[in-house]
């Protein structure tokens, strides 16, 4: 897994290349996602950041704007979650897919090479230039089956 200083540098380079500025709000969002290896809604990121760092000045709009920026830069990725918006996670880890529990909302990650290979094959078959792919298995997790 990539270390935080390296990730940060990557982000700063990317900003510079696009004449964008490096601000503490942007860093806070990045750092938050790095340190919390889960899936969050923009709202959650906003609330938890405020809670953890009561002194920082950040607005929900900035969280949205930053996430959009990070997603466009392929630094974070998002996953749609039912009717209720998207959840974001750091996107730099090895590609993986998700099991989503409809009852408790838990998201479990997994990686399956057979599926990865098969996806490439399918894209090729359809003359599709694949930029991303995602698989969700929806159901009840072990704990919620009672």
Partner DNA sequence: CTGACTGCAAAATCTTTGCAAAGAC
Partner DNA sequence: GTCTTTGCAAAGATTTTGCAGTCAG
Residues near DNA, by CB under 7 A? 15, 19-26, 41-43, 57-62, 64-66, 68, 83-86
DSSP reduced 3-state for 99 = strand
Decide: is 94 part of the binding site for a second copy (CB under 8 A). Answer: no
Decide: is 114 part of the binding site for a second copy (CB under 8 A). Answer: yes
Decide: is 141 part of the binding site for a second copy (CB under 8 A). Answer: yes
The enclosing H or E element of 77 equals strand 76-80
- Comparing CB distances to a second copy, the nearer of 93 and 136 is 136
Q: How far apart are CA 37 and CA 107, in angstroms?
A: 11
Q: How far apart are CA 55 and CA 73, in angstroms?
A: 28
Residue 104 contact partner, candidates DNA, a second copy, none, CB within 5 to 8 A by sort of partner: none
Decide: is 118 part of the binding site for a second copy (CB under 8 A). Answer: yes
- Comparing CB distances to a second copy, the nearer of 7 and 100 is 100
Q: How far apart are CA 123 and CA 135, in angstroms?
A: 14
The enclosing H or E element of 98 equals strand 97-101
Q: How far apart are CA 46 and CA 58, in angstroms?
A: 8
Decide: is 25 part of the binding site for a second copy (CB under 8 A). Answer: no
Decide: is 60 part of the binding site for a second copy (CB under 8 A). Answer: no
- Comparing CB distances to a second copy, the nearer of 58 and 101 is 101
**Is residue 111 within 8 Å of 73, Cβ to Cβ?**
no
- The contact set with a second copy (CB under 8 A) reads 80, 83, 86, 99, 101-102, 108, 110, 112, 114-115, 118-119, 122-123, 125-142, 145
């Amino acid at each position: 897994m990539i270390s935080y200083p390296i990730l940060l540098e990557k982000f700063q380079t990317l900003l510079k290349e696009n004449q964008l500025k490096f601000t503490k709000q942007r860093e806070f969002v990045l750092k938050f996602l790095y340190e919390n290896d889960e899936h969050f809604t923009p709202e959650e990121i906003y609330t938890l950041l405020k809670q953890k760092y009561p002194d920082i000045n950040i607005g929900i709009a900035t969280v949205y704007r930053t996430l959009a920026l990070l997603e466009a830069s392929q630094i974070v990725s998002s996953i749609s979650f039912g009717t209720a918006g998207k959840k974001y996670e750091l996107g730099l880890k090895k590609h993986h897919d998700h099991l989503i529990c409809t009852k408790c909302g838990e998201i479990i990650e997994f990686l399956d090479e057979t599926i990865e290979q098969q996806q490439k094959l399918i894209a090729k078959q359809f003359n599709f230039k694949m930029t991303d792919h995602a698989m969700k298995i929806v159901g009840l997790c072990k704990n919620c089956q009672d």
